[in-house]
A and B are shown apart, each in its own frame.
Chain A
Amino acid sequence: MAKLELEEIKMNTMVRESRDVERGQSEQFVAPTASVVEDADGYRLQVEMPGVNKEGLEISLEDNELTIIGHRSLPTVDGTLIHRESRQENFRRTFELDPSIDGNKINAKVEQGILTLTLPKAEHVKPKKIIVS
């Protein structure tokens, strides 16, 4: 059975620190909420990143690790903040991909703060219909 690991399922307390050794800086990230759907052709991964547009996205694949970073570009509001619930940290989350996924054919699009990644399975693992002649 193929799998796509969401490395953590708990949603809240997911602020992580990521140290940038080269620059000696560290940045806090928050892990975005995600969902995965599998069908015969592959997986569809959806990640909720309100405030992130195409320019703010960094997606990288190293071995089987897919890392998504989303930098928020929040609307600039002319006024004083009187009540806050939103988080300011950027988004970051790593997913472990099943080896059956063809890393060269991953497709990404972002729409209204939702990143949708299409992760097709390699041809050789797709179920095939064999016609009896």
Chain B
Amino acid sequence: MSLIRYQIPELATWPSLDRWSNLRDDLNSLLESPFWSSFGRAGQLFSGWSPALDLYQNNDNIIAVVELPGMRKEDIEISLHDGTLTIAGEHKSETPNGDAERSERYVGKFRRSITLPARVDANNVSATYRNGILTVTLPKAEEAKPKQIQVRAD
């Protein structure tokens, strides 16, 4: 009779899963590189769901418009770190007894980050949520605003 230490099957498969998650990270970072940025949402293949985000700018502000249907405004989390805007939250299932006959809607946590094209004043960021669309207005930092330099004639 041989004595082999019992291995929990799930644990035994961890190393290979690790390798997959590295691959996933690699692919995600590839998708985040500038060349792929236009396909940014392809990242959701690996990370669940990510909301569509549009970015606008004018002289004073950067404005992010995010499609987030069916959220409660308390469940939307907006943060700013090192010039990166992150929108996170959770789509909660409304059918806890799980009798969804057919669902295409994403349930679970999501997180979406975008690097802002200019420095912003983190203390004066404002956001509104209407018709399932979140609009975040980020005032540009003074030094990031375009300035006109007057030429003086001698």
Contact = CB atoms under 8 A, between A and B. Distances in A.
A86 B131 contact: no
Give the interface SS of chain A, mostly helix, strand, loop or mixed.
loop
Contacts of A4: 101-102
Contacts of A39: 99
B63 interface: yes
Interface residues of B, number: 34
B102 A81 contact: no
A75 B128 CA distance: 10
B140 to A, nearest CB: 11
Interface stretch (A21-29, A50-58, A101-109, A122-130): A50-58
Interface string B109-137: 00000100100000000000111110100
A111 interface: yes
B145 to A, nearest CB: 13
B41 A85 contact: yes
A78 B104 contact: no
Contacts of A33: 104-106
A13 interface: no
Interface of B: 40-41, 52-58, 61, 63, 65, 67-71, 95, 99-106, 114, 117, 129-133, 135
Given A11-B104, A36-B101, 19 more contacts: A6-B102, A6-B104, A34-B105, A37-B95, A46-B105, A50-B132, A52-B131, A74-B133, A75-B130, A77-B63, A77-B135, A78-B56, A79-B58, A80-B56, A81-B54, A82-B117, A86-B67, A113-B70, A113-B131
